[in-house]
Amino acid sequence: MHGLICKTLEEFVIDQHGPQIWSQIRRDADAPYGRFEALRNYDAALMLRLMDASGERLNRPIMVIFEDIGHWICTHPPLEQVRRLIRFSGRTFVDLLYSLDELHDRARMALPGIDLPHFEIAEPDPGIFHVTSQWSFPGAGAVLTGSLRAMADDYGALVLIDADRSRPKGDGWTDQVTVQVIEHAFHAPREFTLGGVT
């Protein structure tokens, strides 16, 4: 498991719930590290323990936590560069959806060895999109749901998003997220320029 994924969970919990809660989660999961390093690899079993411990400590289903993490990644001010990187995916929210199938390979070019989900997108009816993910862990659909909710607002689009629960498939997990784009320009998009942060 790439350290960036463990680090994201750590930073989210500390930011939203405080360092003491994260220390408790880390102890509950028998994590042998004080803090995770983004560029280090960790045992995948450790991430599963952290997921279970986070759900118990926060008294929330882990998929709800993952959805919150997806939203947080796109809206937390110190992570503004992530939002901007996503906006480079296209001029519209639909452009963003169609770029998802390139995310895995693009991420591995930047961070070799990172294990992000594979996404496939289909548009069975106009304005209705099915995004299917395959990942070594459950929850890709939940993270994607939170991220898409944030980015739809960023683009000014009105959408409905529904995620199925994770299901085992092969040696990993699959999720399907259905996105219905009701209005492409429901409100003014957040300002975005190539040359600077706005």
pTM: 0.89
Rounded to whole angstroms, the maximal C-alpha distance in the chain is 50
Question: Would you call 104 exposed, middle or buried from its count of C-beta atoms within 10 A (0-12, 13-18, 19+)?
Answer: middle
Q: How many CB atoms lie within 10 A of CB 129?
A: 21
Beta strands in the chain, from DSSP E residues, in sequence order: 118-125, 128-135, 158-163, 167-169, 172-183
Shared domain for 105 and 148, answered yes or no, is yes
Domain boundary among 44, 60, 76: 60
41-81 pLDDT, tens digit per residue, is 888 899 899 999 999 999 999 999 999 999 999 999 888 88
The CA distances from residue 169 to 106, 138, 172, 173, in Å, are 24, 10, 5, 5
Average pLDDT taken over every residue of the chain: 89
Cα(43)–Cα(15) distance, rounded to whole angstroms? 24
One domain for residues 22 and 72: no
Q: What is the pLDDT of residues 115-165, one digit of tens each?
A: 889 999 999 999 999 999 999 889 999 999 999 999 999 999 999 999 988
In a domain, 192, yes or no: no
Is the residue at 194 inside a domain?
no
The range of the structural domain enclosing residue 21 comes to 3-60
The Cα 58–Cα 79 span in angstroms is: 23
Q: Is residue 188 part of a domain?
A: no
- Give the C-alpha distances (Å, rounded to integers) separating 48 from 109, 161, 168, 184: 26, 26, 15, 38
Residue 160 belongs to domain with CATH number: 3.90.1520.10
pLDDT value at residue 196: 52
Q: Total structural domains in the chain?
A: 2
